[in-house]
């Protein structure tokens, strides 16, 4: 039998955690042949709730679940970790300035980066879900100098999946008919969902839509503000769809993207497409053998350029702010 893969999930007692853990334990994160061992990290006040979830996980009798450990100390939680899902974060509360938010999250992602640096397995892969995801990933990465920088990624897969669903709906096709969709930039309202390189049944998606008004005034804002739409309707933020996107992100990173398609991941820029090196920004990527590559050579027209630049500018500002705070 195979050695289990150590999967650490932070914020395990939160709402995304609850939607995520059962899918990991059932084998959907890595594939049906890979046993997993869960290592849950919570703040002390939420450890009891995480223990409750662990009881339910036990009650599922998942054949691939090798064990569950619960911690309130990042050093222990990341010991031997192969896949780290950083979900727990400090939400923005009323009256909180952006600087306060970044500082509060620095207090979470700095020690977690240090713990990953100290204890993670050589092949560790990190996905940051907790917002502001791109900049939290940057903070964690900067405190893990011994881990290759490209192992730190931020989640824009929910945005990617949302965009595919909206595009498929508009064209009356199946979601599986849509390929090569790209989210560029930050996981925030400035993100740019790009259909100019997307394809629908192999045809160019923008040409198939042929509706600039829909693109500018419905599609882009709807995808970018979908999180707010969900909160408005559900009275709580996206949880199951976010968990699903985290599963997709890691599954594809580990198992590879299909030929002729790509996915969106927030990854450290190598300078491609004019995105300053080191910023953790969303790009179109293909994956193979546990590594990813940015899709090169896409032609970026004026319309797309303006939108990518605006989102990247926001990322640069976030990086400047956390640099000033001494968090990176
Ligand atoms: P939640 O508030 O239900 O759960 C967060 C959990 O994190 C809580 O149980 C809390 O105790 C825990 N936590 C806080 N600090 C911690 C620390 N230092 N170590 C370990 N655990 C800690 O929030 P929810 O709905 O599960 O969302 C989690 C995060 O994911 C939020 O930041 C949210 O904004 C973000 N998110 C990101 C998305 C994306 O597309 N990138 C989509 C949806 C949510």
Q: What is the pLDDT of residues 258-313, one digit of tens each?
A: 999 999 999 999 999 999 999 999 999 999 999 999 999 999 999 999 999 999 99
Whether the predicted pLDDT of 36 surpasses 80: yes
Number of other residues whose CB lies within 10 A of the CB of residue 21: 27
C-beta 46 within 6 A of ligand 1: yes
Please report, in angstroms and rounded to a whole number, the separation of the first and last CA atoms in the chain. Answer: 41
> What percent of the chain has a predicted confidence (pLDDT) above 70?
100
Catalytic residue chosen out of the listed positions 143, 160, 187, 249: 187
The whole-angstrom separation of Cα 328 and Cα 324 is: 9
Whether the predicted pLDDT of 92 surpasses 90: no
Query: Cα 208 to the chain's mean position, in Å?
Result: 29
C-beta 242 within 6 A of ligand 1: yes
| Span 158-165, average pLDDT | 98
- State in Å: Cα 13 to ligand 1 middle: 9
Whether the predicted pLDDT of 104 surpasses 80: yes
Using pLDDT thresholds of 50, 70 and 90, give the confidence band for residue 130. Answer: very high
The whole-angstrom separation of Cα 74 and Cα 10 is: 9
C-beta 185 within 6 A of ligand 1: no
| Span 147-160, average pLDDT | 98
Residue 227 and residue 234 in contact, taking contact as beta carbons nearer than 8 Å: no
86 vs 1, higher pLDDT: 86
Number of other residues whose CB lies within 10 A of the CB of residue 276: 13
C-beta 111 within 6 A of ligand 1: no
Return the pLDDT at 32. Answer: 87
Sign of the torsion angle spanned by Cα atoms 143, 147, 149, 151: negative
112 CB-side CA count, 13 A: 34
Q: Hey, which of 130, 137, 244, 282 would you mutate to test ligand 1's pocket, going by the most ligand atoms within 8 Å of its Cβ?
A: 130
Using pLDDT thresholds of 50, 70 and 90, give the confidence band for residue 150. Answer: very high
Which residues are annotated as part of the binding site for NAD(+)? 11-17, 105, 112, 129-131
DSSP state of 275: P
| Span 128-156, average pLDDT | 98
Q: Hey, which of 8, 13, 15, 16 would you mutate to test ligand 1's pocket, going by the most ligand atoms within 8 Å of its Cβ?
A: 16
Query: Cα 48 to the chain's mean position, in Å?
Result: 26
Using pLDDT thresholds of 50, 70 and 90, give the confidence band for residue 2. Answer: confident
Active-site residue flag, 187: yes
The whole-angstrom separation of Cα 165 and Cα 36 is: 30
The whole-angstrom separation of Cα 78 and Cα 1 is: 24
What residue owns the CA closest to ligand 1's atom 9? 14
- Which among 130, 126, 135, 184 is positioned nearest to 153, based on CA atoms? 126
| Span 9-29, average pLDDT | 98
Q: Which atom of ligand 1 is nearest to the CA of 107?
A: 18
Q: Hey, which of 8, 10, 11 would you mutate to test ligand 1's pocket, going by the most ligand atoms within 8 Å of its Cβ?
A: 11
Using pLDDT thresholds of 50, 70 and 90, give the confidence band for residue 1. Answer: low
| φ, ψ at 188 (rounded to 5°) | -160, -175
C-beta 47 within 6 A of ligand 1: no
The complex scores an ipTM of 0.99
């Amino acid at each position: 039998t195979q050695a289990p893969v150590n999967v650490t999930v932070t914020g395990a007692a939160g709402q995304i955690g609850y939607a995520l853990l059962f899918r990991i334990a059932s084998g959907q994160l890595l594939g049906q042949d890979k046993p997993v061992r869960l290592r849950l990290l919570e703040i002390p006040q939420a450890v009891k709730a995480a223990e409750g979830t662990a009881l339910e996980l036990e009650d599922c009798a998942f054949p691939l679940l090798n064990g569950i450990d619960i911690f309130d100390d990042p050093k222990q939680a990341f010991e031997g970790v192969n896949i780290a899902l950083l979900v727990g974060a400090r939400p923005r509360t009323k009256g909180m300035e952006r600087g306060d938010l970044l500082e509060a999250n620095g207090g979470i992602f700095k020690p977690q980066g240090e713990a990953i640096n100290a204890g993670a397995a050589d092949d560790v892969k990190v996905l940051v879900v907790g917002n502001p995801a791109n900049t939290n990933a940057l903070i964690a990465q900067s405190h893990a100098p011994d881990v290759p920088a490209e192992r730190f990624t931020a989640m824009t897969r929910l945005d990617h999946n949302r965009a595919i669903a909206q595009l498929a709906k508009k064209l009356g096709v199946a979601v599986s008919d849509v390929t090569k969709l790209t989210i560029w930039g930050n996981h925030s309202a400035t993100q740019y969902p790009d259909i100019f390189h997307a394809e629908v049944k192999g045809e160019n998606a923008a040409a198939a839509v042929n509706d600039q008004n829909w693109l500018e005034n419905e599609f882009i804002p709807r995808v970018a503000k979908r999180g707010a739409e969900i909160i408005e309707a559900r009275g709580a933020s996206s949880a199951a769809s976010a968990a699903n996107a985290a599963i997709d992100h890691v599954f594809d990173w580990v198992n590879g993207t299909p030929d002729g398609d790509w996915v969106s991941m927030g990854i450290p820029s190598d300078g491609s497409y004019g995105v300053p090196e080191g910023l953790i920004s969303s790009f179109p990527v293909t994956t193979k053998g546990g590594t990813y590559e940015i899709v090169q050579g896409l032609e970026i027209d004026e319309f797309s350029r303006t939108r990518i630049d605006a989102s990247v500018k926001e990322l640069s500002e976030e990086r400047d702010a956390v640099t000033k705070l001494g968090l990176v």
